[in-house]
Structure 1
Amino acid sequence: MKVFRDQLNRKIEVKGTPRRIVSLVPSQTELLVDLGLREQIFGVTKFCVHPRDLRKEKKIVGGTKKVHFDRIAALKPDIILCNKEENTEEMVTELEKIAPVHVSDIKSIDDSLELIFQYGEIFGVTAKASEIAEKITLLRSQFQEDMHNLPVRKVAYFIWKDPWMVAGKDTFIDHLLQLNKLQNVFSEEDSRYPEINLGDLGQKKVDLLLLSTEPYPFKEDHVQALRNEVGKARVQIVDGEYFSWYGSRLTAAFTYFRQLQENFS
């Protein structure tokens, strides 16, 4: 029996190296594949869209907020992978009746690196985990140097419509905005994902409105509608996967962020 701690400092006990994995978090599913664990994945969510063909191979057990526990139990997993924000506490409690559950808690790139190393240890792929983590660390350092002399812009990052919702404080999105020299004007709100009125934007003197492609699929018609509402602020759609997917997706994120910075200029 091997004993590990997850990112909530919960004790996880597994029999040897887990060979049958159920992943209930899309970005963590992608990370598993990049760690060389594709064959060990048996169950995923309907939102696990990377790699593109993965869902054709694996059993879809539901979404991130609601799963079919019977489908998961039938897969006889050695371990189930969850996330504090993506999945619910009630789900984790029920899943623990089936198999050990590892829960991640990601609010920064350092948290992401910790998760990569944890997976490396749990699944016996420490060398590959170190390789991915070292690459992310190097790319982050280079990006921070490039951002050093750029001006700070005030931004609102929209994740939902009807009601309008934005990313707030203590979120991975907010962390990446800061890395991009983008000051989140809603980072002082009590909620991590506050509902707002568009009229609040004028008072906050926002420079940029970023519309994420997920979880709400903002399109160009939303851009024009918001431009009519907010006047001078620039409105732009951004790829939500690069702002909210952690793990190995970060190896490509900094190239995307550089392209965005060129668009902002």
Structure 2
Amino acid sequence: MTILKDQIGNIVQLESYPNRIISLVPSITEYLFDLGLNERIVGVTKFCVHPKNMLNEKEIIGGTKQQHLDKIKELQPDLIIASKEENVKQYVEKLIKICPVYVSDVNDFDSAIHMMNDIGELTSESEKAEKLIHNINQQFDAIKKPTSPIKAAYCIWKNPWMWAGTDTFISKMLAYSGFKNIIAKNRYPEIEISEIVKANPDYIFLSSEPFPFQEKHIEELKAEFPNANFIIVDGEMFSWY
């Protein structure tokens, strides 16, 4: 038997190691695969696009916000993995009545590592999890940071303009890379370009997701930020913990 608290404080109790796992979190679906659990995954969301062919091989149980509860019941899962940020509380509460549910709450590097350890323990793959965590720690330790933080803003959406706030995982990844997030608000606030101009960022990162920023958007913004450096970044690398 395995008993632990998930990241929102709920007790997760498994009588045996799970063999029918459903993941409602695209990034964690990929992590389960990295742990060698592909054969034990029975259901995923339509956004679980990594690794390739996942959507062709597994039952799609809906999206991250809405799931088909009847389909989930038919799959007879023995563990469902959800996320506080990505999934809807009302759906998660219904899923708990079907089988044990582990809810992640990742907002920085340490909580991501915590989640990885928990899932390794729940699935009897702690050794593989520890190896992955060791490799990740080594790579983060090798990041060369500037002597002083560089001011940056990370844009996730256009019309309205939305930015990654200070309490997001994205903001923590910026800090790890040597950047200071100029957005002082939490979550993903709507802030007009004129306000960002006043903060005078050195770098503006335009994310590839959820809004698909392209080079043409850089050209549109250059007049407002003649001295800023623009980079279109892979949104998955910043936000898929």
TM-score range (shorter-chain normalised) is: over 0.9
Tell me which residue corresponds to 1:114: 114
User: Which amino acid in the other structure matches residue 168 of structure 1?
Assistant: G
Structure 1 residue 237 and structure 2 residue 232: aligned?
Answer: yes
Q: Tell me if structure 2 keeps the 8 A contact 1:84–1:104.
A: yes
How far has the Cα of 1:79 moved from its partner?
0.8
Tell me which residue corresponds to 1:202: 197
Q: Tell me if structure 1 keeps the 8 A contact 2:23–2:81.
A: yes
Number of residue equivalences: 241
Superposed CA RMSD in Å reads 1.2
Structure 1 residue 167 and structure 2 residue 164: aligned?
Answer: yes
User: Which amino acid in the other structure matches residue 69 of structure 1?
Assistant: L
TM-score (norm 2): 0.96
Aligned to 1:230, what secondary structure does the other structure show?
A: coil
Greater fraction helix: 1
How far has the Cα of 1:71 moved from its partner?
1.4
Structure 1: distance between partners of 2:217 and 2:197: 18
Deviations along 1:4-47, whole A, 9 cap, x unmatched?
Answer: 21111210122211110000111000000000000000111111
How far has the Cα of 1:63 moved from its partner?
1.1
Tell me which residue corresponds to 1:136: 136
| Structure 1: runs of 5+ lacking an equivalent | 247-265
Deviations along 1:188-230, whole A, 9 cap, x unmatched?
Answer: 21x3111000001221011111011111111222221122333
Structure 1 residue 10 and structure 2 residue 10: aligned?
Answer: yes
TM-score (norm 1): 0.88
Task: State the percentage of identical aligned residues.
Answer: 44
Structure 2: distance between partners of 1:236 and 1:227: 12
Structure 2: distance between partners of 1:72 and 1:223: 43
Aligned to 1:229, what secondary structure does the other structure show?
A: coil
Write the mapping of 1:237-256 to structure 2, written as runs, cut at 5 A: 237-246=232-241
How far has the Cα of 1:76 moved from its partner?
0.7
Deviations along 1:127-180, whole A, 9 cap, x unmatched?
Answer: 10110011111111122xx21x44421111011111110000111101000011
Structure 2: distance between partners of 1:229 and 1:202: 7
Tell me which residue corresponds to 2:56: 56
| Structure 2: runs of 5+ lacking an equivalent | none
Write the mapping of 1:53-202 to structure 2, written as runs, cut at 5 A: 53-143=53-143, 146-147=144-145, 149-186=146-183, 188-189=184-185, 191-202=186-197
Q: Tell me if structure 1 keeps the 8 A contact 2:197–2:224.
A: no
Q: Tell me if structure 2 keeps the 8 A contact 1:198–1:230.
A: no
Structure 2: distance between partners of 1:218 and 1:95: 35
Structure 1 runs of 4+ with >3 Å offset: none
Structure 1: distance between partners of 2:66 and 2:225: 36
Structure 1: distance between partners of 2:30 and 2:21: 13
Structure 2: distance between partners of 1:74 and 1:223: 47
Structure 1 residue 22 and structure 2 residue 22: aligned?
Answer: yes
User: Which amino acid in the other structure matches residue 58 of structure 1?
Assistant: K
User: Which amino acid in the other structure matches residue 20 of structure 1?
Assistant: R
